[in-house]
Amino acid sequence: MKLSTRRSRRALAAALLATALPLVAVGPAHASTTESGCTVSPLTPVYTYINPAGDKVIRYNLTVTCDADRTVEIEQRVYEADIADADDLIVSFDRSRYFGATSTVTMWLEYALPDTEAGQEEMYQRVSFRVESGGVASPWTAWEDSSQQQFSN
């Protein structure tokens, strides 16, 4: 009886592993854009905590690397993805940061998970930026999207 149970568990574990491996292998890479000495990478949203109102709070991280003496101005937009309709804009946030020396930082926006539909919310962020150096500003970059992440309310 113990041998049969052990074999069943091993077979189930092998089946689950075989199912999960293709998903791991084809996971999306994080996108990034480089312009005028700065690189911005919007990362996949992550759950952080539950606020006092009882809402899940999601963090939208982005990594920013800039050469010395540059100011990066970033437009960050958070969306909930919809299949049938246009994606829902949840929040917009603009910011800038001066880099006196070449470095990499992680910047983030935390925002309560919206309740836009029955079932899971598919969240992602979209980022565009421009760089100013020596009084000259670059053009705004094309929008770069993070990977989507599903969260339940």
d(C-alpha 64, C-alpha 131), whole Å: 12
d(C-alpha 66, C-alpha 37), whole Å: 6
Looking at residue 30, what is its pLDDT? 59
pLDDT tens digit sequence for 116-140: 988 899 999 999 999 999 999 999 9
Q: What percent of the chain has pLDDT over 90?
A: 73
DSSP labels for 44-99? PPEEEEE-TTS-EEEEEEEEEEE-SSEEEEEEEEEEE--SSSPPEEEEEEEEEEEE
- CB 50, CB 58: distance < 8 Å: no
- CB 123, CB 111: distance < 8 Å: no
Looking at residue 85, what is its pLDDT? 84
Say which amino acid occupies 5.
T
Cα four-point dihedral sign 144, 96, 64, 89: negative
pLDDT tens digit sequence for 48-103: 999 999 999 999 999 999 999 999 999 999 999 988 889 999 999 999 999 999 99
| Residue of 82, 84, 81 whose CA lies nearest to 126 | 81
Looking at residue 50, what is its pLDDT? 97
Model pTM above 0.85: no
Residue with tokens 């996971």: 27
Q: Rounded mean pLDDT of 2-13? A: 42
**Average of per-residue pLDDT values in the chain:** 85
